[in-house]
Amino acid sequence: MKNFALICLLGIVPSSCIAQLTVQQKVQDFRVLVGHYNKYYAPYEWKKQLFNFDALLISPWLDRVAKTTSDLDFYELCVEYVASLNDTHDSFGMPSDFVARLGFTTDLYDNKLLVDSINRTLIPLAQYPIVNGDELVSIDGVPVEQLLNDFSKYGRQGNPRSTRRLTAARLTIRPQSVMPHAADVGDTALV
């Protein structure tokens, strides 16, 4: 009976170890992130002048960190912080191999979001008559222009056009490593 009780206890312990970060842990992790920029980010002054973003002014960020209600929300905030630098060389990533895919890719052509490749294994032509060159207008009722604006933090590049093009790709292929809430999508999407 003692062996059974010990095995049951060991079975309970791992689930209790899986928990959300505490506010103190999030604050400390965020301070470490900012500390790296304080010590190693050479264009700090230039970015401050060019984009009016002071990467070391963290009190508003710490207030927001304290208000996050989940680890993923905290990681979203970290993504936003790093994206505020508008630097193609910097991004915030997390260890995840989850990717949500719609089965096709898009890119901007003459400022329209057009389908430019389709995985026919996932999207058979007989069932889904989508073809290359079709315009993507909305996903789940949200206009693509709004999605491009909302998701720009996931693909921040050195200039607005490059940011929009990378963001266009992120609308239909969402890697959780750079988009913390990618796993929150449903099983289907209306496009």
Query: Residues 129-162: pLDDT tens digits?
Result: 999 999 999 999 999 999 999 999 998 887 889 8
Q: How many CA atoms lie within 13 A of 74 on its CB side?
A: 21
The CATH 2.30.42.10 portion of the chain extends over 99-184
* Phi and psi torsions of 101, nearest 5°: -130, 140
pLDDT of residue 168 exceeding 50 = yes
What does the pLDDT average to over 16-21? 71
Sign of CA dihedral 95, 101, 104, 107: negative
Provide the 3-class DSSP secondary structure of residue 115: strand
Q: Supply the pLDDT for residue 4.
A: 44
pLDDT of residue 16: 45
Among the residue ranges 3-7, 99-103, 108-112, the one predicted with the least confidence is 3-7
Residue 10 has pLDDT above 60, yes or no: no
CA atoms within 13 A on the CB side of 183: 9
Give the span between the Cα atoms of 91 and 5, in whole angstroms: 47
Mean local confidence (pLDDT), 60-72: 97
For residues 118-135, give the mean pLDDT.
Answer: 95
Q: Looking at the domain 99-184, which fold is it?
A: Pdz3 Domain (2.30.42)
Distance of CA 25 to the CA centre of its chain: 21
Tokens of 38: 């304080």
Mean pLDDT across 77-100? 92
